[in-house]
Structure 1
Amino acid sequence: MSCQEMEIYETYISTLTAYPTTLLGIMFQERNKALLKPTDDNEYFIDRDDPAVTRRDLEDECDYFQISQNALITAPVVSSHQISPIRKLVADKLDDFVKTLETIVTNIAITMLKHHFRGFSSTVTMTFAQESYIGGITSIVVKPKTDALTRSTWKAMSHHGTMGYFILDQFGENIGNYLSNLIPEVSWELNHKIYGVRERFYDFILIIDYDFNRERTLADSCLANRNSINRNSSRLC
């Protein structure tokens, strides 16, 4: 292959060393580091022909790179999308915040549907302060007023309080859009209130509107498949 036809592939050392019995896995082990001779800026030249197009070509490439079927099966799978432990912790905090909001919506729906199966409308407003010494979350208002829902919502959100303002400041619209797409009965509002240099608050409001629909409920239930089976059986008879 001429220099003009060279192809450059970029990968992680961890991906190569995940297969320690192969040619590349052996090459890039720490003990062989001194033997490696990069051509330019951590690049390594391997002289091979174009990609395999027949089974024999593939077998030849496997022989060259010392790739056995057993090695492919037993070697650990390493994702090409690596996330550092710290970034993962931060992302988990955001995910946990969103999951808590999902749980709050579900709990409200469970409570309301006990007495309002034909439909209901409910609103929960959560207020988060910027200053952590205030406690993060300053108020929760559930309408229609339900003491049990207010207490459970407060308990669910309490451990997010000190980070709530920052999360909403950075991701408030993303969170609202995600919830609306996930739960079509949910709409949302995000209000930023500033009363002074240090008195800043976010109101995150979730509005849940549910109207009973017979056809949609039937289609979402186990009866949909049962009715389909019955109709097919009738045709056969």
Structure 2
Amino acid sequence: MHNDDYYKLPRFFFKIKIRKASNRLSSNINMMAGNSQNIEPVIVDDRIILNVGGIKYETCKSTFTAYPDTMLGTMFHERNKFMLHPISGNEHFIDRDGHLFQYVMKFYRTGKVPRLDEVITQVPISQEELDEELDFFMIPRNKPSRVKPTKRIHVRDLIISSQLAAFINALRQIISILFLEFKEEFLINRHFPIGIQLTFYERKKLQIFIIAPPSGLKARIEKIIQPFESIGFCLLEGFADDVERYFEDSITGIEWDCIERRKYLEHGGMVKLFDLRITLDDKCDKTDLMKSCCLKRARGENG
């Protein structure tokens, strides 16, 4: 009978089962009393496997319960073990992003919330995505102290700075979405560059929208870039070179091409626009790869 079936038996029958089990245990102890040195203590396996979105992490329950106010600390507390539903043995499935979970594990193992650039992941991750994941797992974070600025900032500068940060974050999200969409082709096929072109008009909304290779992501990406249809041109006009340097410094393998041009209309007149092309390069430098790969550690241990 499965252990869970005990909870369905009448109380008196359950007591009988306990009494019989207790009698058998007492009998076994008496038989072994003369040779107690052969009795080995029972070791409870504290190890668990978390399958997070298909990526498996092996750790100990005590790693999580050391932080009882977090979601996983509460989940694996002894008092809540009846609520657990392992998929097999000590393996538990959590339907979240397995790449982002590296940051969560970093907190449990070090007690510190890592910065975005302190963990190497296979796909680009934005600060907004990281904050959302930390909030989901109830990871505590120290709020930064409010420092009075030494220099007054003009409200116009604040607005532009805020919009520019949001624009960069939107482009990072699009790059991440494109990589995940074509991940298999990108890894298996050589010479398989992935690219997207966005065209921003000076006084018109976004009109041209091209993804190569073609995919069904158009609606999803349009939703991300929609807030910048009318201001994308202004942001690129003032900061195209700065944005390009940002992406080149923070994400390797990105080819950025931003061209300002004029388009002459059929009924007369002219409108200025920016063609923004972002390509994920399929080149792979083995030397650079080994610097950030798990094989580096294995090579160091073996040699």
Cross-structure match for 2:24: none
Cross-structure match for 2:202: 130
Cross-structure match for 2:232: 164
Q: Which amino acid aligns with 2:232?
A: G
Q: Which amino acid aligns with 1:173?
A: D
Secondary structure class of the residue paired with 1:128 = strand
Task: Say how many residue pairs are matched.
Answer: 153
Distance 1:88 1:168 in 2: 17
Pairwise CA RMSD: 2.4
Alignment partner for residue 281 of structure 2, among 199, 209, 215? 209
Q: Which amino acid aligns with 2:173?
A: T
Identify unmatched segments of 5+ residues in structure 1.
1-74, 232-237
Identify unmatched segments of 5+ residues in structure 2.
1-144
Q: Which amino acid aligns with 1:171?
A: F
Alignment partner for residue 244 of structure 2, among 150, 155, 176? 176
Q: What is the CA-CA distance between 1:124 and the residue it aligns to? A: 0.9
The verdict on how the C-alpha distance between 1:102 and 1:76 changes in structure 2, with shifts beyond 3 A counting, is closer
Q: What is the CA-CA distance between 1:218 and the residue it aligns to? A: 3.4
Cross-structure match for 2:177: 107
Secondary structure class of the residue paired with 1:211 = coil
Cross-structure match for 2:23: none
1:155 paired with 2:223, answer yes
Q: Which amino acid aligns with 2:168?
A: V
Q: What is the CA-CA distance between 1:98 and the residue it aligns to? A: 1.1
Q: What is the CA-CA distance between 1:198 and the residue it aligns to? A: 4.6
Deviations 1:192-223 (A, max 9, x none): 22134452221111122122344433331234
Deviations 1:141-191 (A, max 9, x none): 01111122x332222111111101111111112212221222221122222
Task: Pick which of 193-202 and 152-161 moved more.
Answer: 193-202
The verdict on how the C-alpha distance between 1:218 and 1:76 changes in structure 2, with shifts beyond 3 A counting, is closer
Query: 1:126, 1:204 within 8 Å by CA — same for their partners in 2?
Result: yes
Cross-structure match for 2:212: 143
Distance 2:146 2:207 in 1: 47
Q: Which amino acid aligns with 1:139?
A: I
Query: 1:117, 1:212 within 8 Å by CA — same for their partners in 2?
Result: no
Cross-structure match for 1:66: none
Query: 1:185, 1:208 within 8 Å by CA — same for their partners in 2?
Result: yes
Cross-structure match for 1:97: 167
Cross-structure match for 1:190: 258
Q: What is the CA-CA distance between 1:127 and the residue it aligns to? A: 0.5
Query: 1:140, 1:153 within 8 Å by CA — same for their partners in 2?
Result: no
Q: Which amino acid aligns with 2:196?
A: V
